[in-house]
Amino acid sequence: MRVYFDYNATTPLAADVIEAVAVTSRDLYGNASSVHHFGQQAKAAIDDARSLVARLLNGDPSEIVFTSGGTESDNFAIRGVAEALEPTGRRHLVASAIEHEAVLNTFKALARRGWRTTLVPVGPSGILEPERVRDAMADDTALVSVMHANNEIGTIQPIAHVAAIAHERGALMHTDAVQSAGKIPIDVRALGVDLLALSGHKLNGPKGAGALWVKRGTRLQPLLTGGKHERNRRAGTENVPAIVGLGIAAGLAAQKMTTETARVGALRDRLEGDILARVSGTAVNGSREFRVPNTTNISFDRVEAESLLIALDLEGVAVSTGSACSSGTLEPSHVLRAMGFSAHRAQNSLRFSLGLFSTEEEVDRVLAALPGLVDKLRRLTLSGRSPQQRPLAKEG
């Protein structure tokens, strides 16, 4: 038995999604822009999916734009607003320091083109203080982008409060909800945001489909230009099977939200509690109160997380050291660093993220393997032969 506890990287498809993607691939091959029967069927399937995604967010179907995924949705929101508002003289962007690379690197790209950007730091709780956003605002701030839930530690950000601050200064508010959509209830009206990004494959849907919710009337330039797809907002022939799959996944998530939140939350809590109790020198990174129910990020003192990850994988347990997007780099997690943790602690931390198919047996399996592996790695470090004992060059 292999254990998959890396749902924040990607999720297995729900059975209904697999069926929907397969059937759509086989039967609905029409181009959704075509006038004929085949086109009409494809278009109808996309619009069904649009309604399902809108319902998950309490938005209107006309406000949903399908994209290729979370990264495109974030790019679309940020670049689209920047381009739309540039003529008004706004040249400043604000985000939290713990955003996903899709946001941070888009900010960097715009900074190279003359935009000013401000990243607001967070404390050890991993939760943004809205007043720090207020301090970061300028008269020409075009957009504030703060993630709804953090991908590495799962903390939930006070989006409604931040949105109110953004709007006070006439800025638009975007939230990257890739890690919260499907995990906790989302109501775009209550959050008060103008834009919200989500991704299909993080909620048991297919890869290659995502959505940007755009509040009606929001000024936004398209990222992709071409045909008149998606009401002129996103050109390119629609990926009908993936969009249909996303719709089914969104519907399932909405339907199972209450029971799954409780079930997965209980599994996560048992996993986390037992690790803390049975493995010395462990601590949870970030707030345990305000976070999505499926995620825990734990630091293991005197263990290099990369080694523990591999040792666990060889035992059939898949977890992550943080963002899958930053695997293979030497840089310690920018999220944990932004929270004020040392590079050392950042490199000692593992993320466990659970989901739809996670079971008690999987939790048992991890708890059976983990303490021994941690002990073993710590003994090797103690033997004095491990290079990890040397002070880290980047510590500080």
Partner 1 sequence: MRIVVAMSGGVDSSVAAALLAEQGHDVVGVSMQLYDQREGQTSFGSCCTLDDLHDARRVAAAINIPHYILNFERQFDEHVVSNFVSEYARGRTPLPCARCNSDLKFATLVERARGFGADAVATGHYARVEREPATGRYLLKRGTDASKDQAYFLFSLTQAQLAQAIFPVGDRAKDGVREYARHRRLPVADKPDSQDICFVPDDDYASFVQKRAPATAQPGVIVDQSGRVLGRHDGIHRFTVGQRKGLGLSSSSTGDPVYVLALHPGDRQVVVGPRPALARTALTASGVNWIVGEPTGPQRATAQIRHRHPAAPARVGPLAGQRAEVVFDEPQMAITPGQAVVFYDGDAVVGGGWID
* 306 sits near partner 1 (criterion: CB under 8 A): yes
| CB nearer to partner 1: pick between 37 and 390 | 390
Please, how many CA atoms are within 13 Å of residue 65, restricted to the half-sphere of its CB?
31
State the number of binding residues for partner 1 (CB under 8 A): 18
Type of residue at 66? F
Residues 349-378 contacting partner 1, CB under 8 A: 376-377
Compute the least distance from the CB of residue 330 to partner 1, in Å: 5
Compute the least distance from the CB of residue 311 to partner 1, in Å: 5
- Please identify which residue in 23, 44, 314, 382 interacts with partner 1, judged by CB under 8 A: 314
Cβ proximity of 202 and 356 under 8 Å:
no
Kind and range of the H or E run holding 102? helix 101-111
CB within 8 Å of 80: residues ≥ 6 apart: 220, 221, 222, 223
Type of residue at 27? D
Quote the tokens at residue 130: 């809205």
The residue length of the chain stands at 396
- Per CB under 8 A, the segment of 119-127, 235-243, 289-297, 328-336 that binds partner 1 is 328-336
* 313 sits near partner 1 (criterion: CB under 8 A): yes
* 391 sits near partner 1 (criterion: CB under 8 A): no
Type of residue at 58? N
| CB nearer to partner 1: pick between 72 and 304 | 304
- Per CB under 8 A, the segment of 60-68, 121-129, 281-289, 380-388 that binds partner 1 is 380-388
Strands 141-145 and 172-176, by their bridges, are parallel
Selecting among 276, 324, 325, 367, the annotated active-site residue is: 325
Quote the tokens at residue 393: 């060059």
Type of residue at 25? S
CB neighbourhood size of 257 (10 A): 16
| CB nearer to partner 1: pick between 217 and 328 | 328
Q: Is 325 a catalytic residue?
A: yes
CB neighbourhood size of 288 (10 A): 14
* 385 sits near partner 1 (criterion: CB under 8 A): yes
* 382 sits near partner 1 (criterion: CB under 8 A): no
> Which residues are marked as active site?
325
Interacting residue ranges for partner 1, rule: CB under 8 A: 306-307, 310-311, 313-314, 327-330, 376-377, 380, 385-387, 392-393
